[in-house]
Chains A and B, each alone.
Chain A
Amino acid sequence: MPSGPIPILKLGSTLLATIHIDLHDTVVDSFQNDVLEEIERTGSDGLIIDISALETVDIYVARMLANTGKMAKLMGAETVIVGMRPAVAATLVRMGYLMEGINTALSLEEGLEFHTRRSKMSDGMGDA
Chain B
Amino acid sequence: MYRSERERWEIRIDKEADIVAVRQRVREIAKEHRFDQFAVAALTTAASELSRNVWVHAQKGIALISVLRNGNKVGVELEFVDHGPGIADLNRALAGGFSTSHSLGLGLSGTKRLVDEFSIDTEPGRGTKIVIRKWKKEF
Contacts and interface: CB of A to CB of B under 8 A. Distances in A.
A127 B58 CA distance: 59
Given A25-B52, A56-B41, A96 B96 contact: yes
Contacts of B42: 87, 91, 94
Interface residues of A, number: 22
Interface residues of B, number: 28
Contacts of A58: 45, 48-49, 52, 103, 107
B133 interface: no
Given A55-B41, A87-B38, A95 B106 contact: yes
B45 A24 contact: no
Contacts of B52: 25, 58, 60
B19 A24 contact: yes
Contact of B45 (A26, A95, A96): A95
A63 interface: yes
B17 interface: yes
A95 B27 contact: no
A96 B110 contact: yes
Given A22-B20, A58-B107, A95-B110, 7 more contacts: A55-B40, A56-B41, A58-B49, A59-B49, A91-B45, A95-B113, A96-B109
Interface of A: 22-26, 55-60, 63, 85-88, 90-91, 94-97
